[in-house]
Chains A and B, each alone.
Chain A
């Protein structure tokens, strides 16, 4: 039995030595070469600053530089802890971020459910074009617009309120209102864009499930409750868990362009605090200490949120 097989084998021309027969024998060095430029830049401009965080533990002096400034342990952290504003800044950050996360999660889901009920394609497309738009404008532009329309003297919002007999409100200068302005304007900017993922999830729900629900006598409302929402559950869980990693990001660009010393009490957040200590007061070591604290806590939160997303929604970053 063995002989014919070997004979048969001999019939097939043997590949000459060194000729590739399998695609995965391609050399890997071009792949390394492709990555190299980006890798170098990332090492310098992302990992460099990570190492540069050592100035959080130094009495940093720009004239002496990172390498010759005296080491002083946790002194900068102690100094920040002793500042009267520190706790307030952390609280402001958490409160603003959590409010944004909750409202920013609910609104896009509701709007995508409503959009999903629209049968006229051109209407749907038109709505999407308009509600995605604010996402693409910077907080400088939107900040300028908000400052104008919320102005207590001639802003259009206060003009409208006047019609209802409401006294002018200084929205951007009042500690009572400032956080609400932040949350509403942030949700206004981003809700449209965030409907994209939910709309995609909605189109992937199996139509047979709706047919089965109708046969069982389910009306529109029951279909939404028992078919649509469970169908969206994975993506909702995913966005909610990923949002968890962002609770220290209250939105630097937005707050920086809208706040003023009058509203530091309710509106000052960690990132703006770091900016003022570091870039305005030039207390580099202290600012870095605050930034490092935030980065370290964020890393923990992000790790937890990615782990949860992986376990609950089988999510992988790459």
Chain B
């Protein structure tokens, strides 16, 4: 099934025309409304009039996460607060989050792309969808929620966690579709076995999973445990949230909704645009977003694009599962974590120094985050209550900055490896590539 045949199956030439028109309009709009973009364009000697079609996209400057940080919180908004109807946020690279805003039309557009995504998994008004992504500042919960309402499915806004209740509603309400992180889906599947729930009583047939990297092995494991077909959905807060792209039944990459989000692949070092099929960093330009449009936003996700028409009939470009990052961001339980955030927490605390090691493991399909912090000699107290107090303070500062809890381990100074002056900060044992 295809939600919006007009755009999803449009001839690529025609689509490029649509993109070009929207791009022209976008550049005019942000040039007038966002001082940051005006300055960026002027630096490159570009006038809005210089952008005539989609070929001119590559003339435009890139936007990075650092730019979002420099303009925190609302500096990149193209409309006044009175036009904003919602905020979402994700982790920034340091203590400050990345904030995005939505107008009423942005929410409509977002619902549209999520509706298209859900339709790829044949979700209709005959479905009951359990949205087990977190609701709140995180885009997962509300993003799926609005899209599911748009297709007319019955939504269970249960949010994340509370596994017992999840299982109970799966059984009692007869949910047919579940949306959550893949690791949580695997965990739910295992809990189903542990709780000895009769799989015959579970009506699930499809899962919409995203917000963190997962392997094809995990896909088959989840499909087997829950008796469903598992679909991969992609998105990031800066662009809109979930629904930037989604895979169809043929699962040959995720179709990007190019009438709203124009993708490019660049060489992350030279910033040169690469042809379809080559591996590089994914870059998006949001041509329809009103509140906070982004021009050539560098996602740091590494992937490839394929433009051949899919067997499903969609002409939209397909992106492969991301194979990694061109920065040091980690995705832990669906939450973006930057080592620099941990560093800034430790720097802000008077009794710690930024000597730390992040250890990520996956135990029973759930990610665990351990942060080892060296006990500085000058702050070493020989009383357990003092050291435990220090550990608690680090723990609560870390969890309020990162948005997820971490295990804090105090270690002896000098035990964290310092190689060539630049320490190795992360040990990721999850093996998810």
Q: Do A and B come from one complex?
A: no
Residues of A within 8 A of B (CB): none
